[in-house]
Amino acid sequence: MPDSTNDDTSKTIRSIERAIDVLSCFDHETPQLSVTDLQKRTGLSRPTLYRILATLAGKGVIRSFGDPQRFELGHEASRLGANWIGQDDFLRAARPILTRLWKETGETVALFVAAENGKKICIEELQSSQALTFTRGVGSMEDLETGASGKAMLAFTEPASSDPEFEDVRRTGVRVSMGEIIEGAVAVAAPVFDRTGAVKGSVCVFGPEVRLSDNRRNDCIKRVRAASEDISRALGYGAVIASAAE
């Protein structure tokens, strides 16, 4: 009787390989793709690609939108990413508040955490439904020192917190940047703290400068600050302060 052990260990499931190939097409530079884009990148036939996309969409790993139809990573991808970096509880606590902020502002809302390599990673993003908008994409990584979302965290960490650049962030509780990562974009970010008072991440709203100017920008600043406070409270931050004062 033939020994099939070696054959078993060398076999792979082709459909899973293809699904991973599809997911690998989405990155910071191309967070949204059409079927044609995906077909060019993967070399898959259109019927095969549609079956894979339907399966991934059914599991929430990707989502489709628009006419013509386009695809981007979905909520389940952000949950898996959060699990990978140990931030699942953070995401669960923050999600309803992020949804509220998204509805209030009408702009793209994102949640970031610091990674161990001096980077920041987006673990959740709710894209604006407006025609002119910006998106970074769940899983996108950038230098922690670049942009409002990273600097909002750095302002409350050592040794960066001794930098005069961050004094205004500590005073106001928010960081505003213009065109620092995306030309023509304005970002408003605020830090989020865990129950021990350590920086857990940052919440950010970003959109085109043409909309986020003057009074509307000030309104976003107020709402981002409130969202960061509410997420921090959901993580137990206020409870520790209150018990220490008693």
Q: Is residue 139 part of a domain?
A: yes
Whether 223 maps to a domain, the answer reads yes
CB contact at 8 A, 44 and 51: no
Q: Let me know: does 41 contact 52? Beta carbons within 8 Å.
A: no
Query: Please, are residues 174 and 189 in contact by the beta-carbon 8 Å criterion?
Result: yes
**Counted domains in the chain:** 2
* One domain for residues 123 and 173: yes
Q: Tens place of pLDDT for every residue, the chain, 246 residues?
A: 444 444 444 467 888 999 999 998 987 678 889 999 999 999 999 999 999 999 999 988 898 888 889 998 887 776 676 666 667 788 889 999 999 999 999 999 999 998 877 888 888 889 898 888 887 777 778 888 889 999 999 999 866 656 777 888 998 999 999 888 888 889 999 999 999 999 999 999 999 998 988 789 999 999 999 999 999 999 999 744 333 333
Kindly state whether residues 121 and 65 are assigned to the same domain: no
Vertex 36: Cα angle to 33 and 39 (nearest 5): 95
Whether residue 73 contacts residue 66, with contact meaning beta carbons closer than 8 Å, is answered with no
**CATH number of the domain within which 176 lies:** 3.30.450.40
- 232 & 155 share domain: yes
Q: Are 184 and 214 in the same domain? A: yes
Q: CATH number, domain at 52?
A: 1.10.10.10
Residues 103 and 208 in one domain: yes
Task: Examine the domain organization and report whether 115 and 16 are in the same domain.
Answer: no
Could you list the residue range(s) of the whole structural domain that residue 101 is in? 86-245
Same domain, 163 and 129: yes
pTM of the model: 0.68
Asked if 113 and 12 sit in the same domain, the reply is no
The span from the CA of 87 to the CA of 213, in Å, is 33
